[in-house]
Structure 1
Amino acid sequence: MKNKTLAAWLAFVGGPVGLHRFYLHGLADLPGWLLPIPTALGIYGVERVQQFGQDDHYSWVLIPLLGLTIAGCALRAILFALMAPDAWNARYNPAAPLDAAAGETRWLTVGAIVLSLLVGTSVLMASLAFGFQRYFEYQIEEARKISQ
């Protein structure tokens, strides 16, 4: 029996490394194995900023990858938590009755929704703001070079 609350929390906490995919689909799940790649690239982008400063062009692309991965996993946690119990059981517990307890929404499920919404939107907006700010500052610097 796949528990909806556990899947939502795994998507929120361990989603960027694919824990929710492995829980729901098993260790043979290819997207679960590919999910850590953008996470690792984003972490590498953060390390590049710490090492080379904010003028590093690669970090402008790599850091938003981490933010988009975290925000996407938070969105997946919200979608899991908001799924109707009968739809959850029909999809992830096909041998169980549609009203099985594994698909019920509990207070911990609502907590996963709230935290996923809070963290997911914050990380998404911060990563987009970082990427766009650095891009537009670069465009202004290049325009100054051309005008001189």
Structure 2
Amino acid sequence: MIERVNPAELGKPSGFSHAVAVNTADAERIVFLAGQTALNIENKIVGDGVVEQFEKALGNLIAALRGAGGEPEDLVSVTIYIVDMEDYKAHAREIGRVWRTLVGTEYPAMAGIGVSRLWDVEALVEVQGYAAIRTTRSTQTASAAE
């Protein structure tokens, strides 16, 4: 079964879905997460620099994932598209702190790709990913609580 997920806290998508989830036969839900930039609910780019924009973009990716029933630890692959690679590298420690605050210390397979620009010219970074959600999580959590 394929489900398109567009959480209300993200801006209304135009020409894409924020997440697409697929349930598999082996009790997993695979979620394909659209690239997220630092768009706010009004579809305006927010954040003055790469760190602030990365935090908003990653927060948007996590909101889409949660809308599909997942959590940050379910991320299996993340690609970061970066307009100014040198600026991104110069702020790597701060970006790492943002990651650890929002996602934790587990890291999925990751790639950083330099690009000349993104869809919104004001965007400095875009984060895209895939997640594998164990559909047995809620059953395991309920059993552990008993």
TM-score by structure 1 length?
0.26
Specify the structure having the higher radius of gyration (Cα).
1
**Structure with the largest fraction of strand:** 2
> Hey, which of these two has a bigger chunk of helix by percent?
1
